[in-house]
Amino acid sequence: KLSKRLETVAKFVPSGAVVADIGSDHAYLPCYLIHKGIASYAIAGEVVKGPFESAVGQVKKEGLTEKITVRLASGLAAVEADDHVDTVTIAGMGGPLIVSILEKHPEKLQGVTRLVLQPNIHAKVIREWALAHNWAILDEEILEEDEKIYEILVLQRGPMALTESEILFGPKLMQRKSPAFIEKWLREKENWQRVLKSIEVADQTPEIEEKRAELGALLDLVEGV
């Protein structure tokens, strides 16, 4: 059975999509997308040999070799022009790594109309990247599974405007304020308060002062939500 996290990613893949799942590990997501009749074809990209081999094994075991191509490649290098990929999924990595994958081969995104991204941490950098590259947030989701909180960002092409708070919290998520959202920001706030406390007893340096100011500003933002 697929995790709730990956099931939620799958929910945002349009019906009939040709999907590239980058960093696919066991290729669980592409296998699910084909089995459920959501995707019509999928590429599973993996940069590490072990996971690449598990993906190949999984696709064979599930009898999906006609519908899923597994490629050993870094990031979007797994995508070829004749694949006609229209949807890219990247899940289970940090926001900065997801952004570096999107930035490395911009030409591979040419025919892509939807990105479904699930950063484990730092979703903010993805919103910043989207703003700078003319991608707009179509939807967002936040969920808790096994004590961890995950965010999912669904992007389509187009302009968008976001406030500083919306970049941090997510425009849709901060409107809905779901229990997972509240829980996430309570946890963050507690962390920041702990860091601020430890800073107060530490030496005063310009870097520490800067960090203190940054945390203070973040705490103000959280209070405002």
Selected binder of ligand SAM within 8, 23, 68, 125 (CB under 6 A) = 23
| In the complex, minimum distance from the CB of residue 53 to ligand SAM, in angstroms, rounded to a whole number | 11
Tell me, rounded to whole angstroms, the distance of Cα 34 from its chain centroid: 21
Q: Are 117 and 155 in contact (CB under 8 A)?
A: yes
Q: Which CB sits closer to ligand SAM, 34 or 174?
A: 34
156, containing H or E segment: strand 148-157
**Alpha helices per DSSP H over the chain:** 4-11, 28-35, 49-61, 95-104, 123-132, 164-169, 171-176, 179-201, 206-224
Regarding 55 and contact with ligand SAM (CB under 6 A), the answer is no
Cα 169 to Cα 177: distance, rounded to the nearest angstrom: 10
What binding mask, one character per residue, do residues 84-103 give for ligand SAM by CB under 6 A, x or -?
-------xxx-------x--
Selected binder of ligand SAM within 45, 95, 119, 170 (CB under 6 A) = 45
| In the complex, minimum distance from the CB of residue 135 to ligand SAM, in angstroms, rounded to a whole number | 19
Coil vs helix vs strand at 43: strand
Stretch of 19-27, 124-132, 149-157, 196-204 lying at the interface with ligand SAM (CB under 6 A): 19-27
Q: Are 122 and 95 in contact (CB under 8 A)?
A: yes
What binding mask, one character per residue, do residues 58-77 give for ligand SAM by CB under 6 A, x or -?
----------------xx--
| In the complex, minimum distance from the CB of residue 146 to ligand SAM, in angstroms, rounded to a whole number | 13
Q: Are 9 and 91 in contact (CB under 8 A)?
A: yes
Question: Which positions from 170 through 199 interact with ligand SAM, judged by CB under 6 A?
Answer: none
Give the total residue count for the chain. 225
Q: Are strands 135-145 and 148-157 parallel, antiparallel or unpaired?
A: antiparallel
- Cα torsion 117, 119, 124, 129: sign: negative
Q: Which CB sits closer to ligand SAM, 46 or 140?
A: 46
Selected binder of ligand SAM within 7, 18, 35, 47 (CB under 6 A) = 47
Q: Which CB sits closer to ligand SAM, 2 or 219?
A: 2
| In the complex, minimum distance from the CB of residue 114 to ligand SAM, in angstroms, rounded to a whole number | 17
- The neighbouring-strand residues paired with 39 are 17
Selected binder of ligand SAM within 48, 132, 202, 208 (CB under 6 A) = 48
Q: Which residues are near ligand SAM by CB under 6 A?
A: 6, 22-25, 45-48, 51, 74-75, 91-93, 101
